[in-house]
Chains A and B, each alone.
Chain A
Amino acid sequence: SAVISQKPSRDICQRGTSLTIQCQVDSQVTMMFWYRQQPGQSLTLIATANQGSEATYESGFVIDKFPISRPNLTFSTLTVSNMSPEDSSIYLCSVEDRGGSSQETQYFGPGTRLLVL
């Protein structure tokens, strides 16, 4: 299965600032996804990032707040803009990979723990 890394692993930021999270995968993948997990909650999909096209955002998430880049098939970034304490969450990227299976499966990175003061 794909091996995914995220940077930074955690950060503490001041409100009003922005943070860019990087997601790197060790193989070329078509579909990458960004999720948010607020404290004590389950994961919520923010957007789907496909190389060569604009990201597709889920309801409640907008590009101005969460701009995404996908410059190639192994890398993506998510920026959390103009942060407020409500943005304190774990941000996770995932990729879809077939691995040894006949069916595509999503594999997740370790997450970025963000605390906004």
Chain B
Amino acid sequence: DAKTTQPPSMDCAEGRAANLPCNHSTISGNEYVYWYRQIHSQGPQYIIHGLKNNETNEMASLIITEDRKSSTLILPHATLRDTAVYYCIVRGANSKLTFGKGITLSVRP
């Protein structure tokens, strides 16, 4: 399964856009990129997924580079409640999700 690399942490100001990067240079052509977040040891919450086109939903936008080797999750207007660990995952065979360490996003007032 393709591995992902994320910075360990980042912060942003409340109300500003949070851009969370992810590298997945070994991704295969039919593998999807998924983003989840985990708020204070709750169950992970699904955010968004994509294959090669940019995607947007009510929570976030996902920008995938043309070569698909990296992606960025964008929270357009971060709030304090968006403080969480964000996981970028390449969905592997048999539906397996391999969680890395994720990136801890801290939203400051």
Contacts and interface: CB of A to CB of B under 8 A. Distances in A.
B53 to A, nearest CB: 12
Nearest to A99: B46
Contacts, number: 53
B99 A43 contact: yes
B99 A42 contact: yes
B43 A109 contact: yes
Interface stretch (A14-22, A60-68, A76-84, A100-108): A100-108
B46 A44 contact: no
Interface residues on A, range: 20 to 34
Interface residues of B, number: 21
21 contacts: A4-B43, A33-B97, A37-B41, A42-B102, A43-B44, A43-B99, A44-B99, A45-B97, A48-B95, A92-B44, A94-B43, A94-B44, A101-B49, A103-B32, A105-B46, A106-B46, A107-B46, A108-B45, A110-B42, A111-B41, A113-B41
Interface string B68-109: 000000000000000000010000001111111110000000
A1 interface: yes
Interface of B: 32, 34, 36, 41-46, 49, 51, 87, 94-102
B42 A45 contact: no
